[in-house]
Amino acid sequence: MIIVNSVFDLRATIHTWKQDGLRVALVATMGNLHAGHLKLVNSAKQKADKVVVSIFVNPTQFGVNEDFASYPRTEQEDQLKLATENTDLLFLPAITDIYSANAKTTVNVSGLSDSYCGASRPGHFSGVATIVCKLFNLVQPDIAVFGLKDFQQFTVIKTMVNDLNIPIELMGVDTQRESNGLAMSSRNNYLTDSERQLAPQLYQTLCVAQTAILAGQQSYAAIEQQAIQTLKKAGFTPDYFTVCNSHDLSSATQQDKELVILAAAKLGTTRLIDNVYFSL
């Protein structure tokens, strides 16, 4: 596995691959890799000749009082995991390699960035869109692979790619889960032992709501309210639980056939997100 820190070395290596007619995939991460990330790498390997993984804890997607300073950084362990998966190149830039001191340009996907997680974390999705756009420009991949645990993030990126005519194929990969259903996330490390026992109830509540809709229950508002009450009783502090049109994340109507249920809730100090998507 090639490990590069500089933009120059990254571009030089990829230029050589492109000259040889090789197809390149990108998996963008913030490190602290788990089986979900490695699933993305393996999915990328099925679609491309070379796989680039970036590890960059992006400061612009963290809000005030969020966990940028304490976000888990496990660089050595991550390198070993990626090498085991036969990753072709690991890009490990410093903040100064990505953001100039006087940078004035950001990318914002209007509307989609302002609801759900965007409402609770102002500026978050602008930070996400900006760093992803930068990585697309740096790597110039043929395909980029993202997990669907953060369905809203994937929708924001997909919209950005479409709106800006970025010539990249996007691939979404299903959420990797623990045996108890808990969606794998680096932030699960913040959970106490007792919280980790409770955490799978977020996914269970999503599945109950999905089952109700598939069984023909038509009051999405009632399903949402019941789910919020269930989470509160279990010890969560719900942020949102919403049935949406899976294409544009608008509130679902009875005419919509492609749905996603988005949920976010705090358990102790840890903010968890999850979703289920399905067709009627």
- The secondary element (H helix, E strand) that includes residue 221 is helix 220-234
How many CB atoms are closer than 10 A to CB 269?
12
How many CB atoms are closer than 10 A to CB 237?
13
Q: Check residue 63 and give its pLDDT.
A: 86
Q: Check residue 78 and give its pLDDT.
A: 98
Q: Check residue 213 and give its pLDDT.
A: 98
- What is the per-residue DSSP string for 96-158? HHHS-TT-------TTTTTSTHHHHSTTHHHHHHHHHHHHHHHH--SEEEEESSSHHHHHHHH
- Strand order from edge to edge, sheet including 169-173: 2-4, 89-91, 50-55, 24-29, 143-147, 169-173
Q: Please, what are the domains in the chain?
A: 2-173 (3.40.50.620), 186-279 (3.30.1300.10)
Q: Check residue 158 and give its pLDDT.
A: 98
Question: Taking the CA of residue 228 as centre, how many other CA atoms within 13 Å lie in the half-sphere pointing to its CB?
Answer: 13
Question: What digits encode the pLDDT tens for the residues 235-277?
Answer: 999 999 999 999 999 999 999 999 999 999 999 999 999 999 9
Q: Check residue 122 and give its pLDDT.
A: 94
User: Contact at 8 Å (CB) between 238 and 229?
Assistant: no
Q: Check residue 65 and give its pLDDT.
A: 81
How many CB atoms are closer than 10 A to CB 84?
10
Q: Check residue 111 and give its pLDDT.
A: 94
Taking Cα atoms as reference points, which of 156, 106, 162, 154 lies closest to residue 131?
106
- How far apart (Å, rounded) are the C-alpha atoms in residues 275 and 243? 10
**Which ranges of the chain have pLDDT less than 70?**
none
Could you give the residue numbers annotated as active site? 37
User: What are the residues whose beta carbons fall under 8 Å from the beta carbon of 40, sequence distance 6 or more?
Assistant: 27, 29, 145, 146, 147, 173
Taking Cα atoms as reference points, which of 221, 229, 248, 222 lies closest to residue 152?
248
